Amino acid sequence: MSNCYTCGVLAGRHSAPGGTIYEDACWEVGHISDPVLLPGYLIIKLRRHCEHLADLTPEEAATLGPVVQRTCLALARILNPAKIYVCSFGEGVQHIHFHVIPSMAGMPAGSYAVFLWLWLRRSLHRIGIKKWVHDPAVAENIAAQLRHELC
């Protein structure tokens, strides 16, 4: 869909640091296309434009778990996070996607605190306070390692 942000990422109209990390017939994995607030914060995107998990095809449903498991295993091997959150909201961007968020040392404890921490940093970035943005090269390096793990 021409006005869908995720379709734009999949078509290469918007870029993510490190580019595509993994893709198969149904799913594509890459960094979130934000400024790099958390290296290793990935998005698993459905390649087809579809807005509700209820509407996944049998092939898309059968391949969802394996891509989640493999992505989490690759992140665990490379970043060794305490936990990895995997969440689908689909409100700001309606196209089905899963946020894959590694909970790293130095981050607040607990998923609610992590979401607030990310939201605050993103909001501050939007008003020009860019203190917590990482060099895209950090995400590109992680993406290269993840790509190697997932190949």
Interface residues with a copy of itself (CB under 8 A) are 52-56, 58, 60-66, 68-69, 72-73, 75-76, 83-91, 103, 110-112, 115, 119
Q: How far is the CB of 123 from a copy of itself (least distance, A)?
A: 12
Closest to a copy of itself by CB, 38 or 75: 75
Closest to a copy of itself by CB, 82 or 129: 82
Closest to a copy of itself by CB, 14 or 77: 77
Q: How far is the CB of 136 from a copy of itself (least distance, A)?
A: 26
Burial of 21 (0-12, 13-18, 19+ CB in 10 A): buried
Contacts of 98 (CB under 8 A, 6+ apart): 43, 44, 68, 86, 87, 88
Q: How far is the CB of 137 from a copy of itself (least distance, A)?
A: 26
96: nearest Cα among 71, 70, 60: 60
Closest to a copy of itself by CB, 77 or 130: 77
Q: Structure tokens of 81?
A: 């996070």
> What is the 8-class DSSP label of residue 81?
-
8 A C-beta contact, residue 61 and residue 98: no
Closest to a copy of itself by CB, 78 or 136: 78
Contacts of 4 (CB under 8 A, 6+ apart): 49, 93, 94, 95
